[in-house]
Structure 1
Amino acid sequence: MIHLKDLTLHIYMPRLHDQFRFPPHLAHIRLTWCHMEEDPMPVLEKLLHLKSVQLTSDAFVGRRMVCSKGGFPQLYALKISKESELQEWMVQKGSMPCLRTLTISNCQQLKELPDGLKYITSLKELKIKGMKRGWKEKLILGGKDYYKVRHIPSVQFINCDHD
């Protein structure tokens, strides 16, 4: 088990406790249908070798997620998809310093992108998929949240025209 690098959990798991022991060299994790009630980020961001994280299909059913300063030191890919209850996501300065790709998909309650994205200068690609009308208008040149994404070379909006 100590050599495990990729892990997919498709299991009901309302809490992800610190004492839950992940393999020390885990590089990729995908959490699906876990229905975690507490923010999983404080536990996941301490996994020093993590390179990609996917939270999909109500992996997290809370309303607020926080990525802390110093967290996810090697993470290069993050996908948050179909998290139906997520309303607020905060990213502190110094979190995810190596992040290159970010995908936000079908998170209909999410109000906006985190302000802290402006500090992640390594970010090369942002994909916004299946989000409500208004996201594109806020994030394009001249939009009120453009400052959060202006440093990202590729910002894509896919199927973002519905209410």
Structure 2
Amino acid sequence: MTLLKSVNVLWISKLPNLVRVGLAHSKLANDPMQVFQALPSLQDLFLFVTSVVEQLCFGATGFQKLKRLRLIDLIGLKRVKIEDGTLPLLEKLMIGLCPQLEELPSGIRHLSKLTTLTFIDLQEELKLSMIPDQGRNFEIVKHIPYIHFLES
């Protein structure tokens, strides 16, 4: 197993046909999304215990074919920023074991193809914020047919 401190943009950009990436136990210090969004064929991205990054940003022009995104055990993650225009084909989003997560991913309301949103060990306050017709975040997730809350 190789521990990565950074993802080399030049190396990864030479893989235009890559459709699936899984990155585990890498302890990245910087947001790797700028690198991964340059992969034009990427459909499935899985980050597991990969980062001490506080924020992941999905830029407006990236991830045009991504269908599945899993962010698991990112202990330092506080925010996920999803810019309008990114992730237009995303169907499944899983976020779990991110104890520092302060808010739902910004821009989640723009993910019109999202059918399944799964959280693992989400803070109770965030769960309650999605209660139908009552929660402060219900309006931004009401278009998602399936929202699951799992406990580890």
State the match for 2:82 in structure 1: 91
State the match for 1:75 in structure 2: 66
Once the 2 structures are TM-superposed, how far is the Cα of residue 130 of structure 1 from its aligned partner?
A: 1.4
State the match for 1:47 in structure 2: 39
Once the 2 structures are TM-superposed, how far is the Cα of residue 82 of structure 1 from its aligned partner?
A: 0.2
The answer to whether the 8 A contact 2:104-2:126 is kept is no
Amino acid at match of 1:28: R
Q: Which TM-score applies when normalising by structure 1?
A: 0.88
Q: Deviation string for 1:32-79 (max 9, x for gaps)?
A: 00111010001101101000000001x121111100102100000000
State the match for 1:102 in structure 2: 93
Structure 2, unaligned runs of 5 or more: none
Amino acid at match of 2:81: M
Q: Deviation string for 1:70-101 (max 9, x for gaps)?
A: 21000000000000001111000001000000
Q: Deviation string for 1:120-157 (max 9, x for gaps)?
A: 10000000111222221011211111122110000111
Is 1:143 matched up with 2:135?
Answer: yes
Amino acid at match of 1:159: E
The answer to whether the 8 A contact 1:52-1:78 is kept is yes
Question: SS state of the match for residue 20, structure 1?
Answer: helix
Structure 1, unaligned runs of 5 or more: 1-9
State the match for 1:5 in structure 2: none
Question: SS state of the match for residue 94, structure 2?
Answer: strand
- RMSD over aligned Cα, in angstroms? 1.3
The answer to whether the 8 A contact 1:115-1:148 is kept is no
Distance 1:139 1:23 in 2: 39
Is 1:28 matched up with 2:20?
Answer: yes
Q: Which TM-score applies when normalising by structure 2?
A: 0.94
Amino acid at match of 2:99: Q
The answer to whether the 8 A contact 1:11-1:32 is kept is no
Distance 2:142 2:125 in 1: 17
The answer to whether the 8 A contact 2:129-2:138 is kept is yes
Distance 1:11 1:112 in 2: 32
Q: Percent identity?
A: 25
